[in-house]
Amino acid sequence: MAFSFLTQELAIDLGTANTVIFMNDKIVVDEPSIVAIDQNTGKPIAFGHRARLMHEKTHPNIKTIRPLKDGVIADFNAAEQMIRGFVKMINTKRTFFSPNLRMLICIPSGSTEVEIRAVRDSSEHAGGRDVFIIYEPMAAAIGIGLDVEEPKGHMVVDIGGGTTEIAVISLGGIVCKESIRVAGDVFTAEIQQYMRQQHNIKIGEVTAEMIKINVGAAIAELDELPEPYIVRGPNLMTAHPVEVAVTSQEIAHCLDKSLAKIETAVLAVLEQTPPELYADIVQEGIFLTGGGALLRGLDKRLHEKINIPFHVAEDPLRAVARGTSIAIKNADKLPFLMR
């Protein structure tokens, strides 16, 4: 490519909860997908971690927005501001030439034409010259080192912030897939509701997220039980401060219904899988990626329900981003990328 030294290739995992950007095989941005906007001017004042610190702590002049909901762009303007802000973080040392940006962005496999268009437009407005799009389960499979182009069935379950993506991949294409809107955000909301109903305590999104990270579990009988997590907040009836110790057994009970929906979706995809590919999957097992894969005991629970071994990928949080960064190097040759 002419002037390739002026071209910057960015692999972007634009997630509901976190955005990870790879450039030259290195993570250059790993930030929460959130932007803080000044209500008076409409201009962004913080992105990522800085905006996350402000979340649920703002006054009327500042608003924090999570531009993505259920894996797709819900606030077009805020998404564009956020992508632009993250790209600026990389290009702080701007040279005389402003680089050509080639972007590869991953999206949920259940996205509609309109949702794909919104991602493409936001990326182009944020400075992308060449914008390619890849489906998340495909990126996740590449990121964990599977050879997606061989004539063999691989199954990936990617539990992100907004969606759980389940796909069977063979010969560089998705054979059958399911994308359900039950994932990290739903778990967080369920923890908030559980704390209200069981402990009469009101907690915010950030605290619920901390509970999920510290004592989140998919089964009650874990080999190693984490220490109970102490939560402080107001009593719903009296507004007096309360302190509650939350255990992993409680969270396993609280998330049970949502996890059952994920099991049903996995079984639905297995039902549609051609028998030869099904045989490959039984032999190789099913791979878990995304932040939800970090729930303690999830692989064990799914294995017991579905009778196929489940493997948690190493560094599941960044599997999709890593796969995107591998794919962008061959962006012009790969048949499964969309332009």
φ, ψ for residue 36, nearest 5 deg: -105, 130
Name the segment(s) of the chain with CATH classification 3.30.420.40: 4-139+320-328, 147-313
Predicted pLDDT at 245: 95
DSSP 202-233: ---HHHHHHHHHHH-BS-S--SSPPPPEEEEE
% of the chain exceeding 90 in pLDDT: 65
φ, ψ for residue 22, nearest 5 deg: -105, 140
| Rounded distance between C-alpha atoms, residue 109 and residue 106, angstroms | 9
Would you tell me the crossing angle of helices 205-215 and 184-199 to the nearest 10 degrees? 100
Q: What CATH class is the domain 147-313?
A: alpha beta
What is this structure's pTM?
Answer: 0.89
Q: pLDDT for 153-205, tens place per residue? A: 999 999 998 899 999 999 989 999 999 999 999 999 999 999 999 999 999 99
Residue 3 has pLDDT above 50, yes or no: no
Residue 92 has pLDDT above 70, yes or no: no
Q: Find the distance separating the first CA and the last CA of the chain, reported in whole Å.
A: 18
Q: What CATH class is the domain 4-139+320-328?
A: alpha beta
Q: Are 172 and 335 in contact (CB under 8 A)?
A: yes
Q: Are 161 and 291 in contact (CB under 8 A)?
A: yes
Question: Could you tell me which residue, 330 or 274, shows the higher pLDDT?
Answer: 274
Q: Are 228 and 215 in contact (CB under 8 A)?
A: yes
